[in-house]
Amino acid sequence: MLGIHVSVPVACFRRGLAREYLETEMIPPPSTCYGFLLSLVGETDRRRHVGARVTPVAIGRPDLSVVLRTVWRVKKTPLGAAGNTRPDYQQLLVGVELVIWLDSDGEVVEGESLESRVLAALDPARRSRIDRFGGLSLGESTHLVDAVSVFQPDADRKGRAFLLSERGRLTLPVWVDHVGSAKTRYVTGDLASTPLVPPEPATLPVIQPK
């Protein structure tokens, strides 16, 4: 299992049912973490590493703020009529620090694992071979990552990890249907206070379509 340390100055992990008031989760969903890792290694096929287990661990507590911003909404309007943009309030997290745990043992696609590709992307001697494009963000494309590195386990520090639980109080997506929402897949879990060491693999959400 591999740990990746990530820091983001400003981020929003928008709740799936948020509409006029754009609330944020306090941690990124597993699907967001998976998309971030794919971007890091330059992978454009999100099915390439299906079966990987991914979960975030929050270190500390970021500040929460609210901004008024212009939001795009996809809807039909008469030709030439305005209406696809409107101002809405959005919650932002300031000073996000995370560890993302990644376990590739369950990947179902043959070839190099996501773990090994992430290690290559973070290795100064090998990262020049990575073919990727665009800014590296976590969540919205404007919320750029400040730093990312391999994390060394530290039993003396603690964080809040999203771990699977059948009766968990938190429901987060592991696979998002970007055309509608019928095929979005969710898992339930809890934010558990744990040392910053690899958790049991079975407690990590699996990235898998519905």
Instruction: Find the CATH number of the domain harbouring 162.
Output: 3.30.70.2660
Per-residue tokens: 59: 């270190």
For residue 154, being part of any structural domain is answered with: yes
What single letter denotes the amino acid at residue 46? R
Mean pLDDT of 27-45: 95
Q: Which of 33-37, 57-61, 179-183, 199-203 has the lowest mean pLDDT?
A: 179-183
Average pLDDT, the chain: 89
Q: What is the DSSP letter of 87?
A: E
For residue 153, being part of any structural domain is answered with: yes
Mean pLDDT of 15-23: 71
- State percent of the chain over pLDDT 90: 69
Helix axes 114-121, 30-41, angle to 10 degrees: 60
User: Domain range spanning residue 153?
Assistant: 2-15+23-62+95-203
Number of domains in the chain: 1
Locate all alpha helices (DSSP H) within 29-138, ordered by sequence.
Answer: 30-41, 114-121
For residue 67, being part of any structural domain is answered with: no
For residue 86, being part of any structural domain is answered with: no
Report the pLDDT value the prediction gives residue 106, as an integer from 0 to 100: 95
Mean pLDDT of 168-192: 86
Residue 67: pLDDT band (50, 70, 90) is confident
